[in-house]
Structure 1
Amino acid sequence: MTKLSDTQAIILGAAAQRDDRNVLPLPGSLRGGAAQKVIGALMKRGLIAETVTDQLAKADPALNRIWRNDEDGCAILLHVTDAGLAAIGIEPEQPDTKPAPKTRKPRTGTKQARMIEMLRDDVGATIDEIVEATGWQAHTVRGAMSGALKKKLGMTITSEKVEGRGRVYRIASD
């Protein structure tokens, strides 16, 4: 059995009693840096996890139900995992399977949408071309390709050196 602090056991036990297994709200005395530290430790050990929702509700200072918001403003909740239930002696109802990643749909009319459009073009785009089209800095373009396009949207980005243009990036067609 996993060794837990009293606070961690209280948080997991309360979440296990909720139908939605939401970790929030936290005990009334746990706020600010202390809350961040306890939640971070539970997440690091895989006993709780974040769940991105389609809600555009804002996280509230009292940490009532929504933990935080992602860059698109969607609410992120915390839920107890099957490992968290096992740590407090509760058998999970079903085997611990990882949920399929949500495929997000990019918003239209944004700089990100413009970048995607350029990368889907047959000729692709260089970092400098995307910088010029979006007004972003080069490191922001690289971060958007790595984070938003690859990780969040699940796109495959390819690159190749093209004589006279430099490194050209494209979104691989499915």
Structure 2
Amino acid sequence: MLKLTDTQNLILSRAATRPGNLAMPLPEGLHGAAAKKVVTMMTDRGWIEEVDADLRKGELLWRETGDGHGTTLVATASGLEAIGIEPLVAQVTAAVRKARTQKVAPGSSDTPAQRAGTKQAQVIEMLQRPDGASLKEIVAATAWLPHTARAVISSALKKRLGLPVTSQKEQGRGTVYRLPPA
């Protein structure tokens, strides 16, 4: 059996009683470096994880990510097992949380729906062209700043949508991004 500190046990026990197994708010008096140390230790052991916070539902933030969003802490299946909660119950609550954060109903497609006519859709079309699209071309077409275009490619297209975007430096064009044709 795992040996948890009183603080770790309290965090996991409270998370088990909250919707979505939210570990926030942390116990009163736990803040600053002490909170960071406890959270880091629990994250390293896989007992809690940092997930995107749903601010519309009033979820408390653990930290801000700098892009207008934030993260919160959630007890994992192994964290709930550490305090004696059945693995099946822990897995079901973790699956519900994952489906909600991905904004996908359980059992439906894992890929989020793409809206037509958006700048993101325009970028995807550009990347699917045989010659792809350079960063300068994307910036000119969308009126985004270069760092915004790169962020959309890396986070929205690659991570969120799971698209296999490739990049290659080309003489005279700079970095050119491509997607396989649809």
**Band the TM-score falls in, shorter-chain normalisation:** 0.5 to 0.7
Contact 2:65 2:71 in 1 (8 A): yes
Residues 1:160 and 1:27: Cα distance change in structure 2 (over 3 Å):
closer
Residues 1:112 and 1:16: Cα distance change in structure 2 (over 3 Å):
same
Aligned mate of 1:89, from 76, 84, 87: 84
Partner SS state of residue 38, structure 2: helix
**Greater helix percent: which structure?**
2
Q: C-alpha separation between the residues in 1 aligned to 2:112 and 2:52?
A: 11
* 1:57 alignment partner in structure 2: 56
Partner SS state of residue 30, structure 2: coil
Tell me how far 1:86 sits from its aligned partner.
1.9
- The answer to whether 1:24 aligns with 2:19 is no
Contact 1:150 1:156 in 2 (8 A): yes
Aligned mate of 1:67, from 56, 62, 66: 62
With the length of structure 2 as denominator, give the TM-score of the two structures: 0.65
Residues 1:78 and 1:106: Cα distance change in structure 2 (over 3 Å):
farther
With the length of structure 1 as denominator, give the TM-score of the two structures: 0.67
Contact 1:157 1:170 in 2 (8 A): yes
Q: Deviations over 1:28-81 (max 9, x none)?
A: 11123332332232222211123436x44397xxxx734356677566442211
Residues 1:58 and 1:20: Cα distance change in structure 2 (over 3 Å):
closer
Q: What is the number of residues matched between the two proteins?
A: 168
For structure 1, the residue ranges without an aligned partner over 5 or more in a row are none
Residues 1:2 and 1:129: Cα distance change in structure 2 (over 3 Å):
farther
Q: C-alpha separation between the residues in 2 aligned to 1:3 and 1:171?
A: 49
Partner SS state of residue 133, structure 2: coil
Q: C-alpha separation between the residues in 1 aligned to 2:65 and 2:128?
A: 25
Q: C-alpha separation between the residues in 2 aligned to 1:161 and 1:75?
A: 33
- Name the amino acid aligned to 1:65: L
- Name the amino acid aligned to 1:136: L
Contact 1:57 1:75 in 2 (8 A): no
Q: C-alpha separation between the residues in 1 aligned to 2:151 and 2:68?
A: 18
For structure 2, the residue ranges without an aligned partner over 5 or more in a row are 103-110
Percent of matched pairs sharing the same residue: 45
